[in-house]
A and B are shown apart, each in its own frame.
Chain A
């Protein structure tokens, strides 16, 4: 055993900064993915065939290829095609957001189908227009049912976000590697960022439990 924690002390602020860098694009990706995912889910349950087809093909493409490949295509291949020099941040948000939306759309679709059909009928019988019914009656009930699955997706996204280290984005993971390379010691910095990831996920889980409790007030 030759562990020496004192060596990473000067690098701690540098690594801690990575928390914010990671959180920044993870939060944007989650929100972006959730919005697109909701729209895709509505396409999937809607009556317009072209939209349904689009959503299905979209989902199968983003679920059927590796996330790291999608990230590389957006960061490396798109500039070659368009000449637009895309930033690592935008690439990351696009890759993670679009990828996550495919999973989220399936979760939400399942959640909507699980809401009792009578709820739709009751709302229709009261003369509530479709859009309003979805927003006020169906989605709140669907969200309650799918919260654990949704939380799972957000946790996965938070951890998988480490993949952006491959495009040179200075996130938490990348910072751990940088410190390891500087010190020629990898165990301490990697364990350190590992603990931070774990802490982040714990906070997310607790947040999920809290929301779940709040939503179950009608039970």
Chain B
């Protein structure tokens, strides 16, 4: 599903990602963890080209995103993304947020878009909020709407960029529950997170980045109980 080969990314002289290679299979749930500044968000943002890689190749669903001939806008339709700060469209209602891209980008009919939108709202438990504006929602509700908005485009995979980091503690669970449900439905997911519980329980694989390098990857149980590298040990000691 995702194939990253020798990815490098620099901002000016600052090398943020150094030679990252990884393959992610269809239906796999991968957690990306690491200290702040390790490049994990940049890594995620490279996968839908919100950041342009300095070097390397990224292939998503057999489309080579780093090929200059690829229509990146088109390719992004198939890659859902959820942001730390939600970024819902504040001037649109919840339902309009969900139907906007399907209507304008996929050009499906309004009836179909609304039907799908309502089904997704039900799935994230917010059926009663369809006509509300984002400003009236709590953080957890906003993030669930944001997930539904991304799903409305029927993506092949979903990227999550620290989806619970901006939430009050009591709202973290409702968002994680939606993500867990999504993972169980077979969605391919790449999740940058500080929620070790989620990484441990839901992820099929954990990758650990530090200072732009992919230090370690492995099955969560092994990684958390028996990290191989000193840096991962050090990191886990600090947070667990």
Contact = CB atoms under 8 A, between A and B. Distances in A.
Interface of A: 116, 118-119, 121-130, 132, 136-137, 140-141, 144, 215, 217-219
A132 B89 CA distance: 14
Given A118-B87, A141-B90, A125 B48 contact: yes
B50 A218 contact: no
Nearest to A215: B91
Interface of B: 48, 50, 73-81, 83, 85, 87-92, 100-101, 104-105, 133-135, 149-150, 153
Nearest to A116: B87
Nearest to B85: A118
Given A132-B104, A144-B91, A218-B91, A125 B85 contact: no
B87 A126 contact: no
A66 to B, nearest CB: 39
A122 B87 contact: yes
B50 A121 contact: yes
Contacts of A125: 48, 50, 76, 79-81, 150
B74 A122 contact: no
B95 to A, nearest CB: 13
A129 B73 contact: yes
A119 B79 contact: no
Dominant SS at the A interface? helix
22 contacts: A118-B87, A121-B83, A123-B89, A125-B76, A126-B76, A126-B101, A127-B75, A127-B76, A127-B77, A127-B101, A127-B105, A127-B153, A128-B101, A130-B73, A140-B91, A141-B90, A141-B91, A144-B91, A218-B92, A218-B133, A219-B133, A219-B135
A130 B73 CA distance: 9
Contacts of B153: 126-127
A117 to B, nearest CB: 9
**Residue from A121, A125, A141 whose CB has the most chain B CB atoms within 10 Å:** A125
Contacts of B78: 127
A217 B132 CA distance: 10
Nearest 6 pairs of A and B residues by beta carbon:
A127-B77, A122-B87, A118-B87, A125-B81, A126-B101, A127-B76
B100 to A, nearest CB: 7
**Residue from A122, A129, A130, A215 whose CB has the most chain B CB atoms within 10 Å:** A122
Nearest to B153: A126
A215 B74 CA distance: 31
Nearest to B84: A118
Contacts of A144: 91
Contact of A118 (B83, B100, B105): B83
B59 to A, nearest CB: 18
Contacts of A130: 73
Contacts of B87: 116, 118-119, 121-122
A8 B89 CA distance: 56
Given A126-B77, A141-B91, A218 B48 contact: no
A217 B135 CA distance: 10
A137 B89 contact: yes
Nearest to A217: B133
A120 to B, nearest CB: 9
B133 to A, nearest CB: 4
Contact of B73 (A127, A140, A218): A127
**Residue from A128, A132, A218, A219 whose CB has the most chain B CB atoms within 10 Å:** A218
